């Protein structure tokens, strides 16, 4: 029975309460929070009127935790207890971090395994989730102070190329901070929401997002309020920090610093490099002074120094266009996102490649948070859900390992999410009662060339002949890009499922190389796949014939048995030595040779199945 709201005659209907939800740009260098105010989404300021919260956390001697600008001051005086750019730590392993010069001043907890790195501070071991939660707590307090109420939900942005581990850790940090996550939203997509709703642009849009520590390029189709991500690309470990690193290394080289001096003065070097980078966005040259050395750096020299990093961003743009099956001239607008896009060297490179100046009329630092705030207002119920339709895609293919160490893709890359896809599989051996399922991510044909996400088992499969069982495997990717996998045996309904929460992510080289490798090795991969499939087919035929010989070998003459044995031995040898074409030929030859044997077996078993009992032997049922 439904409930109806009633009112006295002439009364105005009660206005629905405005629910408080915010959009959070959890950035590598700075973070922001946005919310609807006076009819439009605005960035919420702190007590001093600033809107950027430095993504830095300091653990003090008395147990106090400081976040933001005050924590940034401690990065010079107490670097070991000050965590900077924590976003770059999400989903990474200890071994990888120890090899990076940016993290050499940190001590990592010895009692944590490689999949769960934690930095030793005077307040105890703090992993990236705990540190990120402190930043989110600070943003939540700022929002509640500005909005005069408790938050009911938040949309948090992540780089489009964040993998499952990094996305899950972001959600875990929000939960630890006491936030209800309405959705994780890709940063480039959030920027498209902001620009699309404000300026009503239509057509093909490139969102070029270069932040402090991550880089994303997304190709979006925007038509009549419908946003669709056609393709994405990027690098979770490329950003403004890397430009700072280059400049810091240049300063240390010019000043003649030793490795030890560089290590002890890394924080000061990075701070100076950041300051000079900002100045060169406004000035043609700057004076540089460090450790007794004085010199000058021009904008042109800085641009030359940054060529390798800028070239990486343009290479990604080319790949994204190719994946979206578009040409440069098909792009209508380029949206610049992230503070690092203020660098003239970056803007010039983008303008030269696309042949048109990029859009910068919304503050590149604010645009992602504004888009997240717009999305939060819709998801919390303050605006109709059909205000706009937002379609995201999964950036890498998801699949299962099959026989022969091959990958069967279930959800291809660039599939619109949320999505659920299913495929049916079967058993390989007679009497098989369990199946091991290996979930992988990547574009290559072999499991060894892809990334392992998770393994789980399905038990309780009824024993049948090989190929008789029907196992349906369903992959479901939610709006946050997180994957759930479920396997079900259809005749019994027995099932097993897992939520993929891999404990560590891809390193920068793997992310950059995965798509390139799939293109470079496309022909080789297809040849290997053809060979592997032929080997599996041959192995199945050999197993089937050997099982048939064991059960009904008396149906063969001695000569026929010898011929089949010879052919089986030849095929078994070919599996190890021959190419796919030769394997197919020998498999077909064995099929032809064993065809008469298969027909005899079928006749025998059909006659047994049809053999009935005499009617006289059937007893009547007593009344």
Q: 């022909």: which residue's tokens?
A: 523
Cis, peptide link before residue 418, omega less than 30° from 0: yes
Closest CA to 162 of 219, 209, 194: 209
Crossing angle, helix 164-176 and helix 128-147, to 10 degrees?
50
In contact, 452 and 438? CB cutoff 8 Å: yes
Angle between helices 558-577 and 522-552 (to 10 degrees): 160
- Rounded Cα gap, residues 156 and 24, in angstroms: 5
Instruction: Output the 3-class SS for 372-405.
Output: HHHHHHHHCCCCCHHHCEEEEECCCCEEEEECCC
Task: Please give the structure tokens belonging to residue 346.
Answer: 């970056």
Q: What is the rounded distance in angstroms from the CA atom of residue 91 to the CA atom of residue 453?
A: 13
Tell me the longest C-alpha to C-alpha distance in the chain: 114
Q: Torsions phi, psi of 5, nearest 5? A: -85, 130
Residue of 278, 574, 229, 176 lying closest to 417 (CA atoms):
229
How many other CB atoms are found less than 10 A from the CB of residue 419?
Answer: 16
Residues 534, 538, 543, 547, Cα dihedral to 10°: 130
What number of CA atoms fall less than 13 Å from residue 170's CA on the CB side?
A: 29
Q: With contact defined as beta carbons under 8 Å apart, do 305 and 244 qualify?
A: no
C-alpha distances in Å from residue 496, one per residue of 125, 434, 435, 456, 616? 35, 11, 10, 8, 49
Q: Taking the CB of residue 444, how many other CB atoms lie within 10 A of it?
A: 21
Residue in 98, 97, 52, 58 with CA at minimum distance from that of residue 75? 58
Q: What angle do CA 48, 53, 59 make, to 5 degrees?
A: 105
Contact 558, 577 (CB under 8 A): no
Distance of CA 412 to the CA centre of its chain: 13
- Mind telling me the catalytic residues? 25, 87, 187, 209
Half-sphere exposure of 249 (CA within 13 A, CB side): 10
The Cα 507–Cα 89 span in angstroms is 10
DSSP state of 65: E
Q: Mapping DSSP to helix (H, G, I), strand (E, B) and coil, where does residue 320 land?
A: helix
């Amino acid at each position: 029975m439904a409930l109806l709201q009633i009112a006295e005659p002439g009364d105005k209907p009660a206005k629905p309460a405005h629910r408080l939800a915010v959009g959070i740009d959890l950035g590598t260098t700075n973070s922001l929070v946005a919310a609807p105010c006076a009819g439009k989404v605005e960035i919420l300021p702190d007590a001093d009127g600033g809107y950027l919260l430095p993504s830095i956390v300091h653990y003090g001697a008395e147990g106090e935790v400081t976040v933001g600008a005050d924590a940034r001051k401690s990065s010079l005086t107490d670097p070991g207890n000050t965590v900077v750019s924590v976003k770059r730590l999400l989903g990474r392993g200890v071994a990888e971090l120890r090899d990076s010069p940016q993290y050499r001043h940190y001590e990592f907890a010895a009692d944590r395994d490689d999949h769960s790195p934690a930095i030793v501070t005077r307040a105890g071991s703090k992993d990236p989730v705990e540190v990120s939660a402190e930043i989110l707590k600070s943003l939540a307090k700022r929002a509640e102070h500005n909005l005069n109420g408790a938050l009911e939900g938040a949309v948090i942005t992540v780089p489009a190329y964040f993998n499952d581990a990094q996305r899950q850790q972001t959600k875990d940090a929000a939960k630890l901070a006491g936030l209800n996550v309405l959705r994780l939203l890709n940063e480039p997509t959030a920027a498209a929401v902001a620009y699309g709703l404000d300026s009503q642009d239509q057509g093909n849009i490139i969102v070029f997002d270069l932040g402090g520590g991550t880089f994303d390029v997304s190709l979006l189709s925007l038509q009549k309020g419908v946003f669709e991500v056609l393709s994405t690309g990027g690098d979770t470990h490329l950003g403004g920090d890397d430009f700072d690193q280059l400049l810091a290394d240049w300063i240390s080289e010019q000043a003649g610093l030793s490795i030890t001096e560089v290590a002890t003065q890394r924080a000061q070097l990075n701070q100076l490099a950041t300051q000079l980078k900002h100045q060169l966005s406004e000035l043609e040259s700057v004076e540089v002074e460090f450790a007794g050395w004085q010199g000058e750096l021009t904008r042109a020299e800085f641009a030359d120094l940054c060529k390798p990093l800028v070239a990486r961003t343009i290479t990604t743009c080319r790949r994204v266009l190719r994946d979206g099956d578009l040409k440069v001239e098909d792009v209508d607008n380029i949206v610049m996102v992230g503070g690092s896009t203020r660098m003239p060297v970056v803007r010039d490179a983008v303008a030269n490649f696309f042949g048109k100046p990029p859009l910068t009329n919304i503050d590149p630092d604010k645009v992602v948070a504004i888009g997240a705030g717009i999305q939060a207002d819709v998801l919390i119920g303050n605006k109709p859900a059909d205000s706009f339709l937002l379609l995201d895609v999964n950036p890498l293919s998801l699949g299962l390992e099959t026989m022969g160490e091959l990958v069967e893709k279930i959800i291809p890359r660039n599939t619109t999410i949320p999505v659920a896809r299913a495929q049916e599989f079967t058993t390989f051996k007679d009497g098989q009662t369990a199946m091991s399922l290996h979930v992988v991510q990547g574009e290559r044909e072999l499991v060894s060339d892809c990334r392992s996400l998770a393994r789980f088992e399905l038990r309780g499969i009824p024993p049948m002949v090989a190929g008789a069982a029907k196992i349906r495997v369903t992959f479901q990717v939610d709006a946050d890009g997180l994957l759930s996998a479920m396997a079900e045996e259809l005749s019994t309904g027995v099932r097993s499922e897992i939520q993929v929460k891999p404990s560590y992510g891809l390193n920068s080289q793997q992310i950059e190389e995965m798509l390139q490798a799939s293109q470079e090795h496309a022909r080789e991969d297809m040849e290997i796949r053809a060979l592997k499939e032929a080997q599996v087919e041959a192995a199945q035929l050999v197993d089937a014939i050997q099982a048939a010989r064991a059960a009904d070998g008396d149906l063969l003459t001695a000569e026929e048995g010898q011929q089949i044995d010879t052919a089986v031995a030849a095929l078994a040898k070919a599996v190890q030595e021959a190419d796919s074409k030769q394997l197919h030929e020998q498999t077909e030859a064995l099929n032809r040779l064993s065809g008469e044997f298969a027909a005899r077996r079928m006749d025998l078993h059909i006659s047994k199945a049809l053999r009935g009992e005499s009617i006289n032997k059937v007893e009547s049922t007593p009344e």
